[in-house]
Structure 1
């Protein structure tokens, strides 16, 4: 597939969308029979795979994509503030907790996503049908090849042990991925044990929380810490980086998927839902179905190192192949949103900045 061509087409589509307001008149049922079909996408994702997917979708269906991008919380607030006048057809955000917030704000229409494909696990679909996962990412560990032995690491719970004192690098508590990781601990262990774990992490930090996931991996490689919590695809991104320093940092660490003998590695998602006031619901449904096609799922794997949500999809990405397969937590990801507020309170109580 010519991804470069699709990316160029996607960039033109985004540019066109940025120069105009989303079209709320054209589409299925429009009185303007000769008007192009459109779908207005409000997305918190900023990945090159998505531009290629939108271009491929338009090429195959003739439906034009108007793209509005913002951070997850800004996106939710914008659609909420617009109310019934919102032109949003599809809302896409990263992290199950943000999907939960959008659902709680009444931004999604209920849909029969289970009928889209039989090859997607039930735990990746909202039980009430408000959203569905389109790509997965695992929150894992990266440890020093020189200062940590493989048999020293087994589970997330291990990191709270005092033997890791002064050895852990991790992002701030405001990071959605850390919030969802702790929320998964609340769901699995209960609030008291999850709080004890979080307090243990704080006690074992090598430095105050700072930077992004790549910053944590660089910290391990530089000797600032011995182990870090990170999303898997940042490590793979560093392996393929055009910067020698990033490649060297990735070579200095080992990526490890915890809890393989117990609950499975924690998995978070990007997800999509049809807006409750979507002016083009048929086009919205068509786009989400396309996200779950083999073609789009392959783009996620090959272009952003994300893990497809549809079983049996084949891709060409040796880096991703090297960390697959793994045992993932089978808990419904909607529970991450259910326990997000509790996780935030725990962070505050234990002093996780």
Structure 2
């Protein structure tokens, strides 16, 4: 019982499903959609930190093996090279998989279900939709529509996550838009969570003070069509589920392009120091610009940069609702969306 209590924690695990190239025989990243019947490999982009009880003694290891009811072969990656196989320990109730490699989604989900003695399988999934990837392409390239319905029918939580630019870029990217919309305040958005990667995390309603204007202008400038596509996917998943209940979320984190992601406190401190330097550099460049910025007041760096607000490494989640901020407007998708009607849920990685 003591061993099990030390294991009970939610985990967020990004995975890639690499396909086997029919010509070379090597496994490749899922850049394009190959035929769905091809063999795949489960690749952990940022392997979760192993729990110490795996190596404490035989009793603790046996307890961990029972807790993680699914054990699948997996690989890690450095650059474009796969490293020797290991074991992926998976708990269907507590683990969320962020999946890249949609063409093998049903195959992976069925593997998780077949190897689970409790027959729970994949319950919590996250999708990082980086382009205008239509659901009908995803549906068409799955191995079987009946299998897809079964897999989607077992899901309990579906998240669509958007990784935005780093926070300094987000502060300055509002400039061309602020000429048209003065409500887009220039600020250093320290309350925005920064993407991290340790696996285990905790969630609660964000207790921190959030700067004015941050929730009113959540930036999707990196991919303005994200909201519409996420809602479309939500509708299609609901159709496949035939009305069975499911929780749909929109997740948001700044700086999803870190290589590698922050995994411990030392790296977090280095990240914040580097971010402070970027802020100084960006502001100095703007100060010397011959164009007069509408937000500029003198040459002093805005006070927001000196706030005592603690940075969170993780992500925010909001309900993904048909009548919410992503409700289909007329015209082109917007670059900024108003989420001030919600108090975000803060998911913080354990560094």
Structure with the largest fraction of helix = 1
State the TM-score, normalized to the length of structure 1: 0.27
**Which protein is richer in strand relative to its size?**
2
